[in-house]
């Protein structure tokens, strides 16, 4: 029997966590931690309309697909010119929101032709900033890929792309993985380890944007894993659920970049996926009900707090997160 893609993500991440040399899961802390989460009142997950183009029907759908196409680059964010008081992500989201408010969605033809210079203007970056301009080049490539995919496979229609997933988040992941920057799969020894962070997140964001109806209705949304990046593992580490060996900890504290696809980077992401699965299972065992997606949003929002921002997290320059 062929295992589903989302099952493979869980299975392979658990196998990496079992073999890990640089990251250790503190399993003894999971029951108490899960119990504390049950006691917390979790607010509803939502997309803040101050930064996201919501409530605009098909234009909102286009916004989500466009934003998630460039929802990466956290390893570049320390060098990004950010909007006052905003993080790298919210700088990108609010810049795109402003464009949509003034001009509406990009057409697929426009997306297919965007340059690094265009993206620098769109996202408020200076071309002489080499770090930011490198990221803008990657953003342009990602948006070019989206434009071409829409033109070549979906008659230039954002709506048709989502409809072709037939209300399956997993199928949407597979559709998006036709674009190179969405092929979030790494190799760990003899294991092929899929994460598909941004592809999964796209389904989740559509669900939030449309209240789980219409383009946001996915029958298998509860099967998504967390969206393995560098913030959720950081929250889990700060909260004492995972720990890194001394050398890796020192590298992160110094702000040293962790290479994409390195053993350390794969172990960090895979361990985070596995810990959250175990937390979800423990909450269920205690009579609660929560999905990995919901836990991801809770941890991501928790990571915006000052105590989490005060401690360095791992930085990786890649197109996956």
DSSP line for 243-256: EE-HHHHHHHHTTP
Cβ atoms 18, 267 nearer than 8 A? no
Check residue 165 and give left, alpha or beta (phi > 0: left; psi -120 to 50: alpha).
alpha
Q: What is the mean pLDDT of each run of 10 residues along the chain (321 residues)?
A: 87 99 98 95 88 98 99 97 96 99 98 99 98 99 99 99 99 99 98 99 98 98 98 98 99 98 99 99 96 96 94 98 98
Residues 6 or more apart in contact with residue 37 via CB below 8 angstroms:
279, 283, 290, 295, 298
Record the tokens describing residue 260, joined without a space: 């994409």
Give the integer Cα–Cα distance in Å for 290 and 93. 27
**287: alpha, beta or left? (left if phi > 0; alpha if psi -120 to 50):** left
Burial level of 44, CB count in 10 A (0-12/13-18/19+)?
exposed
In a domain, 111, yes or no: no
**Structural domain boundaries, residue 249:** 5-45+225-309
Q: What's the pTM value of the predicted model, to 2 decimals?
A: 0.96
Domain annotation covers residue 145 = no
How much is the pLDDT for 184?
99
**Rounded Cα gap, residues 64 and 172, in angstroms:** 13
Judge whether 272 lies within some domain. Answer: yes
User: Is residue 270 situated within a structural domain?
Assistant: yes
Angle at 318 between CA 313 and CA 319, to 5 degrees: 125
> Does residue 288 belong to any structural domain of this protein?
yes
At residue 321, the pLDDT reads: 98
The reported pLDDT for the residue numbered 45 is: 86
Count CB atoms within 10 A of the CB of residue 107. Answer: 15
Residue with tokens 């989502």: 162
Predicted pLDDT at 43: 78
Cα(294)–Cα(144) distance, rounded to whole angstroms? 31
Model pLDDT, residue 2: 59
Q: How many domains does the chain have?
A: 1
Could you tell me if residue 171 is inside a domain?
Answer: no
Helix locations, the chain, DSSP H: 5-19, 30-39, 58-69, 88-103, 108-113, 116-122, 130-153, 158-163, 169-176, 197-209, 232-238, 246-253, 263-285, 292-302, 306-309
In a domain, 127, yes or no: no
List, in sequence order, every residue forming a beta bridge with 191; answer none if it has no partner: 188
Residue 275 lies in a domain: yes
Strand 23-25 and strand 191-194: the pairing is: unpaired
DSSP 318: S
Write the DSSP string, 233-284: HHHHHHTTSEEE-HHHHHHHHTTPBPPTT-HHHHHHHHHHHHHHHHHHHHHH
Residues β-bridged to residue 25 = 242
Question: Looking at residue 1, what is its pLDDT?
Answer: 58
Question: CA separation (Å) from 291 to 57, 277, 280?
Answer: 26, 9, 7
Contact assessment for residue 228 and residue 321, using Cβ atoms and an 8 Å cutoff: yes
């Amino acid at each position: 029997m062929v295992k589903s893609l989302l099952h493979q993500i869980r299975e392979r991440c658990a196998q990496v966590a079992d073999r890990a040399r640089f990251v250790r899961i503190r399993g003894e802390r999971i029951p108490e931690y899960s119990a504390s989460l049950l006691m917390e009142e979790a607010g509803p997950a939502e997309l803040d309309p101050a930064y996201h183009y919501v409530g605009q029907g098909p234009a909102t759908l286009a916004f989500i697909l466009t934003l998630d196409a460039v929802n990466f680059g956290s390893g570049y964010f320390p060098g990004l010119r950010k909007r006052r008081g905003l993080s790298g992500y919210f700088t990108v989201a609010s810049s795109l929101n402003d464009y949509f408010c003034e001009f509406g969605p990009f057409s697929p033809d426009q997306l297919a032709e965007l340059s690094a210079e265009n993206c620098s203007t769109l996202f408020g970056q200076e071309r002489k900033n080499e770090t930011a301009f490198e990221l803008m080049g990657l953003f342009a490539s990602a948006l070019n890929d989206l434009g071409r995919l829409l033109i070549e496979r979906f008659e230039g229609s954002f709506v048709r792309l989502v409809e072709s997933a037939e209300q399956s988040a997993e199928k949407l992941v597979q559709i998006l993985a036709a674009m190179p920057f969405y092929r979030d799969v790494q190799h760990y020894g003899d294991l092929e380890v899929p994460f598909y962070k941004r592809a999964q997140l796209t389904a989740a964001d559509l669900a939030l944007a449309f209240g789980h109806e219409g383009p946001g209705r996915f029958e298998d949304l509860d099967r998504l894993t967390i969206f393995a990046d560098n913030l959720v593992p950081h929250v889990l580490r700060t909260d004492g659920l995972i720990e890194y060996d001394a050398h890796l900890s020192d590298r992160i504290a110094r702000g040293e970049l962790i290479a994409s696809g390195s053993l350390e980077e794969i172990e960090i992401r895979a361990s985070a996926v596995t810990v959250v699965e175990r937390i979800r299972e423990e909450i269920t065992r205690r009579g609660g009900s929560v999905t990995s997606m919901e836990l991801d949003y809770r941890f991501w929002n928790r990571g915006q707090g000052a105590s989490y921002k005060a401690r360095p997290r791992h930085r990786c320059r890649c197109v996956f997160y």
